[in-house]
Structure 1
Amino acid sequence: MDAEPLEICLEDHDLGHGLREDARAGLAATPKWLPPKWFYDARGSELFEEITRLPEYYPTRAERAVLAERAGQIAELTGAKTLIELGSGSSEKTRLLLDAFTRRRGLGTFVPLDVSVSALRDSTERIAADYPGLRVRGIVGDFTRHLDRLPAGGRRLVVFLGGTIGNLLPAERAGFLAAMRAALEPGDWLLVGTDLVKDPAVIVPAYDDAAGVTAEFNRNVLRVLNRELGADFDPAAFSHVALWDPEQEWIEMRLRAERPVRVRVLDLDVEFAVGEELRTEVSAKFRPERIAAELGAAGFAAEQFWTDAAGLFGVTLARAD
């Protein structure tokens, strides 16, 4: 069957307003910051897809290995009638789950949610063509704001893959998980992928590859500000930095000014001293007990925890209490 028309919860003007608000707050702060969601314009999405294929970038391969091994078990344990994916993008890895549910029979609806209209339209059309018995209903929305728009009824499984939950700061994660639990009924399921704490010698190159793709991806956010807000950043004036914070157990990506920089953004004059940094991403890494504790605090019971053979990446299946 054909994909249903997209449900639009997020218009272009909403995204523009959000970017303006984040730019005003983050570029006026000390230290300066921007949230990572603004990486993902069309060019940023292309660069990230390239990153996932780099030899240094293990998370995508490791998570895929877990899903390939456990998809059948996930389908059996959850018996889901509706599969919902947050931050769906191309839904490439989710096809492993769709295949398992198709073999089991019983899944009726797939609901991907993403901020990108174009990415969502492409992915829903392809999935509807490849899974002709499945109802495919895309929602254009932000998973931090539009969980109340998720479809009700039937046993639901929400999947949140790629370690994206690690891009949220601890208080943001707690708020997100609480909102997720509020959107679900007792007995519904949440499947979440989390990158695991390991030797920084493995982690850091995944965010600072030898080919410089991640550096280009990081600097692309400045081009987004230039295009969308009329800013005048020179991306070449900034170098890419990836640092491991052992106390917080997360990676920080930053852009470091290599010379004094003065930029006009909206009505702000933003100055960078030599060596001053703009934080563009936090990517938290987790220990199994921390994942279970954060889920438990939000009203989920962690039922299963799986890793790839090398123990690089974890996937947790949790049930709403």
Structure 2
Amino acid sequence: MSPFELTRTLPEDATGAALRADVLHGLTATPKTLPPKWFYDARGSELFEEITRLPEYYPTRAEREILRDRAADVAAATGARTLVELGSGSSDKTRHLLDALTGLHSYVPVDVSESALRGAADALLAERPRLHVHALVADFTARLALPKTPGPRVVAFLGGTIGNLLPAERAVFLRAVRAMLDPGDAFVLGTDLVKDESVLVRAYDDAAGVTAEFNKNVLAVLARELGADVDPADFDHVALWDRRAEWIEMRLRARSALTVKIPELGLAVPFEEGEELRTEVSAKFRREGVRAELAAAGLTLAHWWTDAEGRFALSLATVAG
């Protein structure tokens, strides 16, 4: 077996087709919406890395603290020989798990970006030449066919990214995760927790304006990829806490009445002054809610760890029954 293998399950134009479909659906809906995955072109990824270093943005630091302190507990609980990471990106925080899983044979990073997968694999194999990396270019929200690797396996979904899915989408996703697992496998999930509204809003509306630029970057993606004649300066960044749904919403608010023309789609999208386009939902969780959502998918919450301040949680679930 080669130290590095890559399998592409997405067609070459899958990203472009998905963008066109999401824009057509989301910008003709009421209210207007776009999925947060379209933030992450090269510039958007740079901005997000900058966000993770901001004093207001605690989730990355909090999750890294838990991984540093509890990776050995994950290893002891799972004895995993294969680590699968959904939405792996740079695989940066994953190194804590890779270090702790001393019997690890294979690492299976899953991401839509082939360049991110290759870059992460090069860095990991330079440090761990005996590790087998089998990368999947795939959409983690779709049902995945994992490569044949030794068990037991642990599937990790970090960063609180599950909060970007709406409740019905989370239910579908968690059932798909359950379908990947055999008895003896485990699922490690990172979730941001409900906390004081002011702390949450500051995390998504920092004083330096980096998150505002990140939010508006989706408009730059529309301009570059679909020819949209949109000026990010025509929109304001908005972050607010929905107490009922217990999630943060990021929105773009039109400063004046305008029309965004998207030639690639033959679309003209009118905005009234003050009209908002929702670009992200980031749900926050409570322990019992996580337990219930896992149980509904056929998973049993076995371990629950938080950082010292109780801001973020890492949970480990096993196959129910």
Query: So what's the TM-score if we normalise by structure 1?
Result: 0.97
Partners in 1 of 2:33 and 2:148 — Cα distance? 34
Report what 1:209 is aligned to.
206
Q: Shift of the alpha carbon at 1:287?
A: 0.3
* Equivalent residue number for residue 162 of structure 1: 159
**Counterparts in 2 of 1:165 and 1:90: CA distance versus 1, 3 Å:** same
Q: Within 2, Cα distance between the matches of 1:219 and 1:15?
A: 20
Distance in 1 of aligned mates of 2:55 and 2:148: 38
How far off its partner does 1:278 sit? 0.3
- Runs of 4+ in structure 1 deviating by more than 6 angstroms, as ranges, are none
Structure 1 unaligned residues grouped into runs of 5+: none
The residue number in structure 2 matching 1:318 is: 317
Hey, what's the Cα distance between the residues in 2 that align with 1:2 and 1:81?
17
Deviation of 1:149 after TM superposition, in Å, equals 3.6
Q: State the match for 1:299 in structure 2.
A: 298
Secondary structure (helix, strand or coil) at the match of 1:132 reads: coil
SS at match of 2:145: helix
| Corresponding residue of 1:36 | 36
Instruction: Indicate which of 234, 237, 254 corresponds to 2:251.
Output: 254
In terms of mean alpha carbon deviation, does 262-271 or 307-316 score higher? 262-271
Instruction: Report the equivalent of 1:147.
Output: 144
- Any gaps of 5 or more consecutive residues in structure 2? none
Aligned in 2, Cα 1:156/1:84: closer, same or farther, shift over 3 Å? Answer: same
Letter in 2 for 1:44: G
Within 2, Cα distance between the matches of 1:199 and 1:119? 34
- Partner Cα separation in structure 2 for residue 125 and residue 9 of structure 1: 21
Q: Distance in 1 between matches of 2:121 and 2:211?
A: 28
Q: State how 1:23-172 maps to structure 2 within 5 Å.
A: 23-101=23-101, 105-151=102-148, 153-172=150-169
Asked whether the equivalents of residues 2 and 129 of structure 1 are also in contact (C-alpha less than 8 Å), the reply is no
Letter in 1 for 2:76: E
**Maintained 8 Å contact 1:2/1:128:** no
Shift of 1:151: 4.0
Q: Secondary structure at the match of 1:211?
A: coil
Task: Tell which deviates more after alignment, 10-19 or 158-167.
Answer: 10-19
- How far residue 260 of structure 1 moved from its aligned partner, in angstroms, is 1.1
- The 2-side partners of 1:47 and 1:225 are apart by 17
Structure 1 residues 20-63: Cα deviation after superposition (integer angstroms, max 9, x where no partner):
00000000001000001111111100100000000000000000
Q: Does 1:270 align with 2:283?
A: no
For residues 65 and 150 of structure 2, what CA distance do their matches in structure 1 show? 31
CA contact (8 A) 2:5 2:133 kept: no
Given that 2:106 and 2:150 are in contact with CA atoms closer than 8 Å, whether structure 1 keeps it comes out as: no
1:217-228 alignment runs, 5 A limit: 217-228=214-225
Query: How far apart are 1:5 and its partner, in Å?
Result: 3.5
Give distance in 2, aligned partners of 1:259 and 1:12. Answer: 38
